[in-house]
Structure 1
């Protein structure tokens, strides 16, 4: 018989109708439950509206006589505590509604009412009056009523046996079945945000203020709590602890075991017969976190030797994975000019149209300059052809173009030999070397190749981190990177970008498709990019320049040996082979030496420079006019002037500009000579910042004075001079400073010449100044007198030592004679130098 009632059901929601069968009344016998021989009674199906805070938000479920509470476990997932923190959300109702939607009748049920309906057999003599879900703890309380003759413990046993025979496994936890336990104590049903844990803290409280509580032993606790699940450990409060009330920790192997124990045993009074003392002991249970607060932070702070290297490794991996591809892309764009508008035809066309009307003067000037330089390129056609031929060879192309400053090395390579090469990378060592500090050097090197983003400022911060780590853990973390490491990264990324640029020309359907990348690069030198390293060995004797140039040399050697790119060095240093031989000790690199123009070419260059503008004007008017060179009557002086000035391009252009302003060639050359003499006086002879020089003004003046009378000096003869005791170092420094030029023969230096052709005339100009000559000669004589005085003192000390020997052995007489002769020779030199000094002092006193 089925009775339909329109009332709130403990299984359904508000206003639902549920068909509730009449249940038979049972009583318990020795053979189990048997039907009671009376008429059936309709049980109450009313249900009060409750929340997770208990009846009327009191935190408890009120029970009366013949009422009990069951706790069903595994009703909800345990990892949903965060739902309770969402504002304006009834987590209990929302969860049960959503789970019931996905529930299938043939599968394990998910919402609490469905699970409890299946868990309670029809033959069980009880009536459910209230269901209270516990979302945080993954279970639900079920309040029921029973007959007075039925023991709730027997109901629990029968229910457990039924659930073991017919297990219910929810879909969210198919490996664990639903369990049911009788609530022994008075559970505290709170809705505080307290996360369940596998550890339960059991506090021992008295049943009333005037009574005392007993501290339960581990055996007693085990017998009370083992029924709810496997216990890992029972840890009582230390005996010397002063904390009250006394307590113990119970660690379960699973969190669900702890939630069941806490809900079933909270508020349980342990009687005296079970070890609860004379008046019993009240148990208060709460969850206890097994991990200390901030344990992650404390562990990280307590293990810097492990944490800091791991953090460095992670940051390095992040930098490589994220930033390196970006940097490689920007380097490719820098080499291929992919992000420059000037390389797009439409932009160039628009620019030419806009500039045609008002930029005629600038265009004419540019055209005139191109024609002037064309004379130089015709004279150096052989060098240009040689460079272009080397670019097409499959062998290593490690090329050095050496020449004095102003010889047009960069223009010859970039504007002529590599004019039609699409992918060129120019690295100016001057910008890198003149940067001050490691961060500025890194930024300058990155800018030369297009390497970005670059965090050069991080180098200083990482150095401070390393310094702090030294004081903390006693060792460096490796977080900071040296200048050498940073430059290595920049060149490494550039290598990757250059290889990708070269391989971009490779096609899958070509005949060499079966080749490896290295073989293909070796077979196709025409597709390799060209790296031009300008101003190589600029200021090589300063700071960390040696390391920078060594890294550049090693990188360039790797590019050529791996057939990734052609490399061309542009340098003014004649000793470049010493630096580059370190990078390629077993290879012979190719070399082109640029010298000054011949007098014939120099004269043509000056005349062409004078006629360039008039040629443009004549072409515009369509008339043939007399050139400025034909109008000048003083150009006959050019032959003699160029003999004095030489064939240096910068000096010739300076001469042509001065002649164009109206000066005669002779006057212009005199101005250039005087200007050069002033530069020599300031840079090499005056005592300004002598500490940074490797030469003394006396040594520089001696060279100037001798070169003024002789265009070429013998290298080894000069080293015999008393002023050049450390001669080779001084001469190399003066060559680097471009005061002199040292020529070699058969691999050894053999002659010394002026650093620039015009310097020969400037040296003669300086020596014609009697006052300057007297002053600097007096400085030389003063230094020589000091040297000879030291020699005399040395010989006198030796003679004094010999005189103190007993007996005056005859074997020492030759040595005594030699010392006397040397002392006499030095003394005679001193007298000679002093006489010359007197004459020079007289000159300084008589002349201005």
Structure 2
């Protein structure tokens, strides 16, 4: 171009000039074909202009946002955009055609001739190459175009507020088709105009004078003086992207020489992504000790606001059973219609047997029911051995027909693995959902990582205690809503507060049944502590009645700690008396027989004769009295007996099988486990030894009951050689929890020891009848007793050695010496007696199979 290599000329105006397209139809067709040219002459990336030609850049012809999206397909974008723009209005294509916009921008008064139009889709404009008369310069044409556009602005359809503008291209445009989107920052590199010359770095004043005419400049940043990066460069930040586009397309390749410089400098321009200062993020990352606790508090607040109402909703409907299909009207209607078809005799038999039991315990049932109608702020505790029918009594009789009942079974909670499993099981018991038990493990890792790097614990994770308390608190809120659900505005006491209303109407309160309380109480004791505190809060605030079901006789310790100033309503369930036990078994047999006979009569058509029950037809039921006396009155054992009688076994055979099965169970669980001490395998936490268990079995088989203190004084308990069973009271408590024995109390103190359940009394005798088992266990017991006496001898010998070393054998020590010698002699005689017995037992083991 004619202006290259000169000093920067003064422009007549800051806006660019307009141009005019060829008016002839043939020329317009030629332009449409040339419109597809995107990479310059010969695809070199540059536009070559002849001596009499100049180039204008026209902007705002395409929407920049749309162009950037289409650049994902750069090989088709340039051809697709004109077609895309034409589809906006098929009736008047000229309004949306970029060629027509360029044509409208050229006034007829300018004597210019358009030779080529080259689009720049991603920059929203186009290059227009034109020729002009020799007596008019390109800068004069640009000034006239700028003036005409100011007077008559042309605004495209996609930009109603800003019209198109033009700029005279002073450099050598580079038509690259790379995926480089326009930015408001330009990187201006200073390269040599000639190979033999060294370029000068332009000052900010020179850069400002060159670039300011294209728009507002926000900042100019020069390269640091100590930078070794070549070529030298500077950053020019425009306020608007459109101004940066115009400057880049007009000045790329422009050569100028700053006043006072020896060599000319060529400008090489490119878009640069501006790195915005992230002050907020920088402050956050610089102050983790402040930000992390705030973030933890925010997450906790968000969880409470969003998830707690949802969880409370699910707990409420879990208590009310409103979301269960069995409570829907459709299910109840189907059940009424099909009750005769689906009725099962087995269920009737079970109901009949339980009814006999419940009739026997009618006083207990009425007592518990009356306590639920009174405003007494205390617990109802039902204690009894496993299989005594406590849960059936509460759920089927006391709470029959009651809607708002929550059952919390502690057994699956205590048997869950890990903290996540415990939380998940507890949440399932109360209907608490959604629960993210797995997220606590991840939060713990995050806490550990943050604490190791910053020294501050973030608090994202919660320990087991905190999560249990959270679940129980949400459940308490839901229970209060359930208890108040039946309250109406027109009630007689509508003016009462919620607490006063619940206190005045104990019958409206929900009922919480905590089953298997103190199951595996030696593990996760914190769960029972929190459940006890939660139950105490429920009864004290009149939110709900709480019923505890437990087999542990030491339930008063944790409950008294949670509710120290109250007397519990205690109900103890024992074994059935022989008369009631027989009635229970017979009622189940009769109900089963009626059901079977009824089914047979229905199949045959029925002859109207009275039904014959099983107890009336079986002569062997006369043995039932004797068998029940041997079996005892434990409910589960009676149910097993009834099932065996139903399949045709005689009472004696059935009881014999039950006793033999119990003996095998005792042998496997208590006698064949080995004397493993702490740290050796799975038995490391057992607080009793095999010898102690056999001692109790042997003595209880001979005597129905043992004195508690007498057992504590026995050598097997008082001087056990098993390291994990050195505490005799702990051993007895562990054996009682394992249900081998039952400890009966008298005035609050342990007094007598009996078999864990009645059938075990007969099972103990059965084990003593087995010569091999008896000989093996007696041999183990005598071996331990011999070890105990040997220890006594060792202690006596050690003390005698010390006394013998005293000078001159003082007379004062003679009594002690005689005492020790007597003990030594007694222990020796016991060992000799034990050895004789052990010899006989070894002979039995050698001869018996």
- Corresponding position of 2:271: 287
Instruction: Determine which structure has greater relative contact order: mean sequence separation of CA pairs < 8 Å that are 6+ residues apart, divided by chain length.
Output: 2
- Could you tell me whether the CA contact under 8 Å between 1:778 and 1:837 is conserved in 2? no
- Note the residue ranges of structure 2 that are not aligned, 5 or more in a row: 1-17, 602-606, 677-682, 719-726
Provide the residue aligned with 1:385 in structure 2.
Answer: 366
Give CA deviations for 1:566-620 in whole Å, capped at 9, x if unaligned: 4333221112233444554565544322111233322322333343344557887
CA drift of 1:696 comes to 1.1
Structure 1 residue runs without a partner (length 5+): 1-8, 17-43
**Is 2:202–2:258's contact at 8 Å kept on the other side of the alignment?**
no
Task: Report the Cα distance in structure 2 between the residues aligned to 1:754 and 1:604, rounded to whole angstroms.
Answer: 24
Give the direction of change, closer, same or farther, for the CA distance of 1:182–1:790 in structure 2 (3 Å limit): same
**TM-fit CA distance, 1:412:** 0.6
* 1:839 matched to 2:837: yes
Against the structure 1 CA distance between its residues 756 and 67, is the aligned structure 2 distance closer, same or farther, given a 3 Å change threshold?
Answer: same
Q: TM-score normalised to the size of structure 2?
A: 0.75
> Structure 1 residues 216 and 736, CA, compared in 2 at 3 Å: closer, same or farther?
same
Alpha-carbon spacing, 1:247–1:746, altered in 2? closer, same or farther (3 Å): same
1:311-330 matches, within 5 Å, as none
Q: Report the CA distance shift for 1:737/1:262 in structure 2 as closer, same or farther (over 3 A).
A: same
Q: Does residue 730 of structure 1 match 2:716?
A: no
**Structure 2 CA distance for aligned equivalents of residues 340 and 147 of structure 1:** 92
Work out whether 1:679 is the aligned partner of 2:665. Answer: yes
Matches within 5 A, 1:410-809: 410-436=391-417, 444-445=425-426, 447-449=428-430, 498=479, 501-502=482-483, 504-507=485-488, 525-541=506-522, 544-557=523-536, 559-561=538-540, 563-581=542-560, 583-584=562-563, 588-615=567-594, 622-624=608-610, 628-629=614-615, 638-639=624-625, 641-658=627-644, 668-688=654-674, 690=676, 691-692=683-684, 693-725=686-718, 726-767=727-768, 772-801=773-802, 804=805
Residue 534 of structure 1 contacts residue 569 of structure 1 at CA under 8 Å; is this kept in 2?
Answer: yes
The answer to whether the Cα contact below 8 Å between 2:20 and 2:113 also exists between their aligned partners in 1 is: no
Q: Which residue of 1 aligns with 2:388?
A: 407
Over the aligned positions, Cα root-mean-square deviation in angstroms equals 5.4
Gap change, CA 1:672 and 1:75, over 3 Å in 2? closer
After superposing the two structures, state which structure 1 stretch, 693-702 or 487-496, moved more.
487-496
Residues 66-122 of structure 1, C-alpha deviations (whole Å, 9 max, x = no match) = 8765667778765444343376674467569969999xx9xxx9999889979x999
Q: Could you tell me whether the CA contact under 8 Å between 1:112 and 1:140 is conserved in 2?
A: no
**CA distance change for structure 1 residues 75 and 617 in 2, over 3 Å: closer, same or farther?**
closer
- Measured after TM superposition, the shift of residue 802 of structure 1 is 5.2
1:216 is matched with: 202
For 2:611 and 2:137, locate their aligned partners in 1 and report how far apart those are by CA, in whole Å: 133
What does 1:346-365 align with in structure 2 at a 5 Å threshold? 346-348=330-332, 350=334, 356=340, 363-365=344-346
* 1:149-188 Cα deviation digits (max 9, x unpaired): 6666577779889999999999999999987755432333
Cα displacement (A) at 1:332? 5.5
Confirm or deny: 8 A CA contact 1:397 1:560 kept in the other structure: yes
Give the Å deviation of 1:838: 0.8
With over 3 angstroms needed to count, the CA separation of the structure-2 counterparts of 1:366 and 1:100, relative to structure 1, is closer
For residues 221-253 of structure 1, what are the alpha-carbon distances to aligned partners after superposition, in whole Å with 9 as ceiling and x for unaligned? 34433444324232327656364x443333445
Aligned ranges for residues 51-66 of structure 1 at < 5 Å? 51=35, 53=38
SS at 1:791's partner residue?
Answer: helix
Would you say the 8 A contact 2:187–2:235 is kept in 1?
A: yes
Does residue 829 (structure 1) correspond to residue 830 (structure 2)? The answer is no
Indicate how the Cα distance of structure 1 residues 251 and 579 shifts in structure 2: closer, same or farther if over 3 A, else same: same
Rounded to whole Å, the distance in 2 between the matches of 1:609 and 1:14 is: 111
Per the alignment, in what secondary structure is the counterpart of residue 200 of structure 1?
Answer: strand
Structure 1 266/727 Cα, relative in aligned 2: closer, same or farther at 3 Å? same
SS in 2 for 1:420: coil
How many residue pairs were aligned?
794
- TM-score, structure 1 as length reference: 0.75
Q: Is the 1:659–1:668 Cα contact (8 Å) retained in structure 2?
A: yes
Distance 1:656-1:139 versus aligned 2 partners, 3 A rule: closer
Q: CA deviation at 1:269?
A: 0.7
8 A contact 1:128–1:142 mirrored in 2: no
How far apart are the structure 2 equivalents of 1:65 and 1:200? 29
Aligned equivalents of 1:775 and 1:419: distance in 2? 52
Query: Hey, what does 1:32 align to over in structure 2?
Result: none
Which has the larger displacement, 721-730 or 82-91? 82-91
| Aligned counterparts, 1:159-308, within 5 A | 182-227=168-213, 228-236=215-223, 241=228, 243=230, 245-271=231-257, 273=259, 275=261, 277-278=262-263, 280-291=264-275
Give the whole-Å Cα distance in 2 for the aligned partners of 1:815 and 1:224.
120
* Mapped contact 1:237–1:248 kept (Cα < 8 A): no
Is the partner of 1:839 in helix, strand or coil? helix
How far, CA to CA, are the matches of 1:322 and 1:664 in structure 2? 63
CA distance in 2, matches of 1:764, 1:604: 27
Taking the aligned partners of 2:566 and 2:153, their CA distance within structure 1 comes to 83
Query: What SS class does the counterpart of residue 422 from structure 1 fall into?
Result: coil
Distance 1:13 1:101 in 2: 23
SS state of the match for residue 760, structure 2?
A: helix
Q: How far has the Cα of 1:416 moved from its partner? A: 0.9
Tell me the secondary structure at the aligned position of residue 724 of structure 1. helix
Query: Map of 1:112-191 to 2, 5 A cutoff?
Result: 136-137=122-123, 182-191=168-177
